[in-house]
Amino acid sequence: MSASAGPETNHPTPLTYFKAAMILVIITAIEVGIVYIAALESIMIPLLIVLSVIKFAIVVLFYMHLKFDHSLFSWMFFGGLTVALFAFILVLTLFQVFSSPSNPEVVTVEAKHGEVAHEEEISKEPSAEEETSAEAVSTDNQSTGNILVAKGCGACHAVTDVSGATGVLGPSLDGIGSRASSRQQGLSAEEYIRESIESPAAFVVEGFDPIMPELRSTLTDSEFEQLVSYLMSLN
Amino acid sequence: MEPETSTHHTTTGLNHRKLLMWAFLGSDCMFFGSLIATYLIYQSRSIVGPIPADILDIPVTSVSTFVLLMSSFMMVLSYNAIGKGDMRRFRIWVMGTILMGCTFLGFQVYEFREFALHGLTPRTNLFGSTFFTLTGFHGAHVTLGVIWLASLFWFSYKDPETLKKDHGLSVDLAALYWHFVDIVWIVIFTVVYLIGGV
Amino acid sequence: MVSISSVFERPTTYKGIAGWLVTVDHKRIGILYGVTAFIFFMVGGLEALVMRWQLARPEMTAVTPEVYNQMFTMHGTTMIFLAIMPLGAAFFNFIIPLQIGARDVAFPRLNAFSYWTFLAGGIFLNSSWFLGGAPNAGWFGYAPQTTKLFNLGYGIDFWIMGLQILGIASLAAAFNFIVTIVNLRAPGMSLMKMPVFTWMTLLTSILLVLAFPVITVALILLLMDRSYGTLFFTTSAGGDPILWQHLFWVFGHPEVYILILPAMGIVSEVLPTFSKKPLFGYPVVILSGIIIAFLGWAVWSHHMFTVGLGPIANAAFTITTMAIAIPTGVKIFNWIGTMWKGSLVLNSAMLFSIGFILMFIIGGLSGVMHSSASSDAQQQDTYFIVAHIHYVLFGGSIFAIFSGIYYWFPKMTGKLLSETIGKIHFALTFAGFNLAFFPMHFLGLDGMPRRVYSYESAMGWDLWNFVSTLGAFMIGVSILVFLHNVAKSMRKPNDAGNDPWNGRTLEWSISSPPPVYNFAHIPQVKTLDDWWNTKYSGKKPLRKVAGGSEQPSGEAVHIELPGLSYFPLFASLGLLIAAYGMMFSLVLVVLGMLLTMASVYAWSLEPAEEHSPSDPLSLEAKEIASLPLDARTDRIAELLKSSQGRKK
């Protein structure tokens, strides 16, 4: 390896750069187009990822001329990139980013006690929410337990059987169904639970700070009912 | 007897500064990796709106993405020019890159303002916090790049010969940084706007 | 060009305090790193002694609980970021260019910048004691405990900004050493002919540049939460406390290897030298290091076994964590194999290295115990973990660092440390260390939580806590013994000679302390342990010379030295001012950033020549180069004598 054999000898010409620029523009246009084509919705995400990887590669290989440069540079850059991809895909997996799609209407249900590969998605179309959610309440208690996680309750409250509900800022919800009736004079268990969600500050369990936010407005009516009946069922 | 000078005598034959630049870019992957991962983790966890689909303006951002891509194209042309010792073309293209970079930043300022008017600030919800942090730090990288390129532009009048040294190494390094900022945007555009924004 | 260079004359003085302030010499920067880090090490040690005093008896009230929280936070932060890492950096700086046959690091000014920025970060962090209270949330600063909601006051802000500054310093240094090791090796030194310490430095630096950006982002998020009201860790807005833990430990676990790999490198230099055998299985030691560095990215969640990641995640991270014990175990066998049937020289350096192996095995074994998620569920946040981390970081890193100090002190100063005092130092450290930390295993298994302010006598923890406190003070005494040893040595004339240990690597081929240009002639490397093989190959007659390097050929040389510079210091100063500004005043932020930016501009516009002609020392070097070979050594010896005269 001599110093004089620099990389610039076989660098691409401005024409190549121009072609690369055109490809980049065209791919970007395709990407934006894909977003608006309803027919492609199901394969949109993989398609967009592939296209942006191509763009990424063109810039790195041609504009940053890694293709023509010493391989050590490639090692340094792709080494960093690989570690980043590895670590953060692992982090995202731990946060279940891939298993629960960004679409908020879909709640991912995870099997109890860590039985893997048993994931089903209960799709709740907003239009038909009454029936589906009612069904969910009656069929599978665990799925409503997931509402607890999906709506963020689990960040502060713990329920032993729900893997995502492990918070400690608020009281544990284990056995809330049987405890609730004894909390406040004149309130039945169900009324107490309703009140606790609708106006969290009305009664604060001893030893905890009054920090629970008003979250009722983030729930649809059916979700709220579902949540209440789930909490009632925790004995 | 050959005089040893540290710039030309290295174990691998590669320039120190260029190695440093690539090591830095490898490291910066981790920086943006952390920010993008944070964005993805929080993207559907906001308790109150607005959510991405409400507010992200894909047509406008497509234009600013186009601007940034073209700035990369100009950057590579200016590097090509300095490699040939063509100072005039170098100055034209680098000025073009600077202007394109400023245009991109202008779009970003416009976007941030629009969002604020529509009720999204970093304090509104998790989407706001993560979005402004991620794109804000990208914008900070672009700003730094603009300052760097402007310094090179100024230096091209002050001392053109130094700038031409080692086939325009100083320009090469700035260009690598600029393209890196561009590829980060390619990822952000896809992940935040195209996939997350509809 | 002319006009610019006349504006930015580079400083030329090597003398006095000014000479140290503008220095870019890797040896001087290494010494600065070492001395500063050792001072911080003692500060962190004092904090530990306060804690041990408080815990010596049940229900003591030596300090308030609030101060106690600050003590353990600052103790952890100081020891990791201000003591062990920079003590490692001291060796990187001083030794690496010597081991690879270079005249300096690749970016001497950046190197100076790293040091000054480290110093700025250390001062900034420790000044929090006097400016409203030190940070108090533990060294991993879990959010949301560190958010404004639960933690008012400046302490956490000091912690955040302090770590950011230290991060800049570490990143700059790590980039520098990657480029130096890749690009400044002497001709012939292929990767597999590099000394192990150089290898471990390279791996450490790679880990550093990949790990620090993650903590940088985590700290930025926390800072924004505290200062600008963002919601990253605000649970009522859906912010997730687990996110902080993940970001922190994605950084934090590689950080553990950043702390231990240099130690492994030092031990791998010391053991072969004093066993009079080459390192057993050199390629395997290197490969194990590489595997540790890579696996280190896949184990971080073992710090989070009890947060409820679910059984699959816990099982996966249990497996990866246990897997990392394999390359580590391999290294231990390599070290034992190195000593096996060697003619061991049991001096202080060797004793500390052997101590390292013993203590590191214990720390490693308790590590394997809590690599199992189920077993960790019992041990999490107890003194068992405290025992483990100290067996790894004190019994591991600090023992190795002391070993390195005894080993390289003669090279750095030209003076040997006293062996008698050194052995007393070792005995006290070894006994004190085990007295202090072994009982913590019992305390932990007995349920004593870490970071408790006090405990009741009824808990049955009295005895072992008292023993532990005795041990801690014994360590304190051992440090005083060490300081006495250093002070005593510094007063005597140079007695080390070039190669007091019959060393194996290139640094022993030049005089002690090395001349400012290190190698009058860049060596040609042919083998691993090149200096050893040169000495014993029998082909070349060896000319022992006082204060000069071996000259294998008669070529004339042209020595270039990096020019000195004011600007690294100013750039770091700007960062320090800006960091205080973040606490107290926006004006200071602007001023500080302006100073840093101006310094960076001035830095890049400084005359690019590697040295200015008026530079007296490079004149000396040139003069030496122009002399005939035979006359050179005498002239060098003469110059060295006069330069020692200058120091006085």
Number of helices and strands in chain C (H, E): 22, 0
The matching CATH number, chosen from 2.60.120.650, 1.20.210.10, 3.40.50.720, 3.30.70.920, for C240-496 is 1.20.210.10
- Among candidates B10, B37, B175 on the partner chain, residue whose Cβ is nearest the Cβ of A91: B37
Where is mean pLDDT largest: A9-23, B177-191, C143-157? B177-191
Q: Kindly state whether C220 is in contact with chain A, defined as any CB-CB distance less than 8 angstroms.
A: no
pLDDT in tens, C355-404: 999 999 999 999 999 999 999 999 999 999 999 999 999 999 999 999 99
Which residue's entry shows tokens 């063509």?
A: B86
Q: For C144, which residue in chain A has the nearest alpha carbon?
A: A169
Task: Please count the CA atoms within 13 angstroms of the CA of C390 that sit on its side-chain side.
Answer: 25
Cβ neighbours of C235 in A, within 8 Å = 155-156, 167, 169, 211
pLDDT in tens, C51-106: 999 999 999 999 999 999 999 999 999 999 999 999 999 999 999 999 999 989 99
> In the numeric block, which tokens belong to residue C305?
């076994």
pLDDT reported for residue A155: 75
Report whether C73 contacts C136 (CB < 8 A): yes
Report whether C247 contacts C240 (CB < 8 A): no
- Among candidates B27, B128, B133 on the partner chain, residue whose Cβ is nearest the Cβ of C210: B27
- Among candidates C236, C250, C309 on the partner chain, residue whose Cβ is nearest the Cβ of A211: C236
> In the numeric block, which tokens belong to residue A216?
């009722």
> In the numeric block, which tokens belong to residue A192?
């107490």
pLDDT at C524 over 70: yes
Query: Does a structural domain hold residue B153?
Result: yes
**ipTM score of complex:** 0.93
- The chains in contact with chain B, meaning 3 or more Cβ pairs closer than 8 Å, are A, C
- The chains in contact with chain A, meaning 3 or more Cβ pairs closer than 8 Å, are B, C
pLDDT in tens, B3-33: 334 444 688 889 999 999 999 999 999 999 9
Query: Does a structural domain hold residue B94?
Result: yes
Cβ neighbours of C182 in B, within 8 Å = 11-12, 19
pLDDT reported for residue C303: 95
pLDDT reported for residue C632: 61
Q: How many other C-beta atoms can be found within 10 angstroms of the C-beta atom of residue A138?
A: 9
Query: Does a structural domain hold residue B25?
Result: no
Query: Does a structural domain hold residue B14?
Result: no
Count of structural domains, chain B: 1
pLDDT reported for residue B76: 95
Q: What is the mean predicted confidence (pLDDT) over C295-322? A: 93
CB contact under 8 A, B12 and C1: no
Instruction: Compute φ and ψ for C109, nearest 5 degrees.
Output: -70, -40
Report whether C530 contacts C506 (CB < 8 A): yes
**Domain boundary assignment for chain C:** 240-496, 503-562+613-648
pLDDT reported for residue C7: 52
- Among candidates B16, B41, B122 on the partner chain, residue whose Cβ is nearest the Cβ of C179: B16
Quote the mean pLDDT of chain C: 89
CB contact under 8 A, A76 and B19: yes
Length of chain B counted residue by residue: 198
Q: Kindly state whether C297 is in contact with chain A, defined as any CB-CB distance less than 8 angstroms.
A: yes
pLDDT at A100 over 70: no
Which of C178, C185, C246, C302 is the mutation pick for testing A, counting most A CBs within 10 A?
C246
Task: Provide the β-strand partners of residue A108.
Answer: A121
Q: For A35, which residue in chain B has the nearest alpha carbon?
A: B194
Q: Which domain CATH number covers B141?
A: 1.20.120.80
Q: Kindly state whether C16 is in contact with chain A, defined as any CB-CB distance less than 8 angstroms.
A: no
At residue A120, the 3 state secondary structure works out as strand
pLDDT in tens, C539-552: 554 444 433 444 44
Which of C217, C226, C242 is the mutation pick for testing B, counting most B CBs within 10 A?
C217
Report whether C144 contacts C241 (CB < 8 A): yes
Instruction: Compute φ and ψ for A166, nearest 5 degrees.
Output: -135, 10
pLDDT at A118 over 70: no
| Rounded-to-integer distance, Cα C297 and Cα C208, Å | 12
pLDDT reported for residue B68: 96
pLDDT at A102 over 50: no
| Rounded-to-integer distance, Cα B37 and Cα C327, Å | 30
Report whether B36 contacts B188 (CB < 8 A): yes
Instruction: Compute φ and ψ for C461, nearest 5 degrees.
Output: -105, 5
Name the fold adopted by A128-232.
Cytochrome Bc1 Complex; Chain D, domain 2 (1.10.760)
**Domain boundary assignment for chain A:** 9-94, 128-232
Q: What is the mean predicted confidence (pLDDT) over C190-218? A: 96
Q: For B162, which residue in chain C has the nearest alpha carbon?
A: C1
| Rounded-to-integer distance, Cα C190 and Cα C527, Å | 9
Question: Of A219, A207, A221, which is closest to residue A148 (Cα–Cα)?
Answer: A219
pLDDT at C535 over 70: yes
pLDDT at C5 over 70: no
Cβ neighbours of A13 in B, within 8 Å = 80
* Sign of the four-CA dihedral A204, C151, A216, A165: negative
CB contact under 8 A, A72 and B14: yes
- Among candidates A44, A63, A73 on the partner chain, residue whose Cβ is nearest the Cβ of B72: A63
Length of chain A counted residue by residue: 235
Q: For A85, which residue in chain C has the nearest alpha carbon?
A: C297
Question: Of C391, C402, C386, which is closest to residue C478 (Cα–Cα)?
Answer: C402
pLDDT reported for residue A216: 77
Report whether C179 contacts C120 (CB < 8 A): no
CB contact under 8 A, B30 and A80: yes
Q: Which residues 115-144 of A are in CB contact (within 8 Å) with C?
A: 116
Query: Does a structural domain hold residue B139?
Result: yes
- The chains in contact with chain C, meaning 3 or more Cβ pairs closer than 8 Å, are A, B
A28-42, A115-129, C77-91: least confident range? A115-129
Q: Which residues 263-292 of C are in CB contact (within 8 Å) with A?
A: none
Which of A8, A49, A151 is the mutation pick for testing B, counting most B CBs within 10 A?
A8
What distance in Å separates residue A51's CA from the closest CA in chain B? 9
| Rounded-to-integer distance, Cα A232 and Cα A235, Å | 8
3-state secondary structure C302-340: HHHHHHCCCHHHHHHHHHHHHHHHHHHHHHHHHHHHHHC
Q: Kindly state whether A81 is in contact with chain C, defined as any CB-CB distance less than 8 angstroms.
A: no
| Rounded-to-integer distance, Cα A22 and Cα A43, Å | 25
What distance in Å separates residue B14's CA from the closest CA in chain C? 7
CB contact under 8 A, C224 and B47: no
Cβ–Cβ pairs < 8 A, chains B and C: 126
Q: How confident is the model at residue A3 (pLDDT cuts 50, 70, 90)?
A: very low
pLDDT reported for residue C13: 67
At residue A166, the 3 state secondary structure works out as strand
Q: What is the mean predicted confidence (pLDDT) over C590-605? A: 92
pLDDT reported for residue C364: 94
Question: Of C411, C273, C403, C280, which is closest to residue C345 (Cα–Cα)?
Answer: C273
Cβ–Cβ pairs < 8 A, chains A and B: 151
Cβ neighbours of C214 in A, within 8 Å = 87
Residue numbers of the domain that contains B159: 30-37+56-195
pLDDT in tens, B133-176: 999 999 999 999 999 999 999 999 988 888 888 888 999 999 99
- Angle between helix A71-94 and helix B16-42 axes, rounded to 10 deg: 20
CB contact under 8 A, A156 and C235: yes
pLDDT in tens, A138-183: 444 445 566 777 777 777 788 877 767 777 778 888 888 777 777 7
CB contact under 8 A, B6 and C171: no
Parallel, antiparallel or unpaired: strands A119-123 and A106-110: antiparallel
- Among candidates C171, C187, C560 on the partner chain, residue whose Cβ is nearest the Cβ of B6: C560
Q: What is the mean predicted confidence (pLDDT) over C251-280? A: 96
| Rounded-to-integer distance, Cα C50 and Cα C46, Å | 6
CB contact under 8 A, A94 and C311: no
Q: Kindly state whether B147 is in contact with chain A, defined as any CB-CB distance less than 8 angstroms.
A: no
Q: How many other C-beta atoms can be found within 10 angstroms of the C-beta atom of residue A131?
A: 11
> In the numeric block, which tokens belong to residue C394?
């004190």
A18-32, C182-196, C374-388, C511-525: least confident range? C511-525
What distance in Å separates residue A59's CA from the closest CA in chain B? 7
Q: For A19, which residue in chain B has the nearest alpha carbon?
A: B73
Quote the mean pLDDT of chain B: 91
